[in-house]
Structure 1
Amino acid sequence: MNISNTDPSSNAFDSAFQIATDELDKAKGRLMAAAKAKDQAGIFAAQQDIQAQSQIMSMLTNLSQSLHNLLMKLIDKLNVRM
């Protein structure tokens, strides 16, 4: 049996990762603005946002890798040739 090498979930992961990257960039901008204004509350909030977006990106990466590994095991078990 042959299957094509397409991953319909890839676009969803790419999109989610891009959104997290964009939000991380925004949080970094807020951090720089808060630091320039010496706004301690703003600095803290931006740092929290940066940490949250970094965690989201890490979880997405781990999930993507786990799904890839499971798919490869399934393909191997089914003896599928790509």
Structure 2
Amino acid sequence: MIRICYAQRKSTWNAYIYENLKVLRSKLAKQKRTQAFKIFPDKTLMEMAAQRPQTLDDLESIYGVGPKKLQRFGKIFLEALNNDL
């Protein structure tokens, strides 16, 4: 029973982080005048929310984060994740 409650809280927290990452991505997409999925796809945001990377190296290991996107958006997303959005 305790594990279920913890898992539910973790899932809720991940959903909160995921939704806030989507808002950040939308703002960046508007600034860059591009589509949001071109910043990072949903799958990447979900992994960020679940794994909560702490460094650029951690972030680079997530699906969809290559060298170019890491350079362009890595610090912005890490800052958001580390500041609990």
Relative contact order, higher structure (CA 8 A, sep 6+): 1
**Structure label with greater radius of gyration:** 1
What's the TM-score once normalised by structure 1's chain length?
A: 0.41
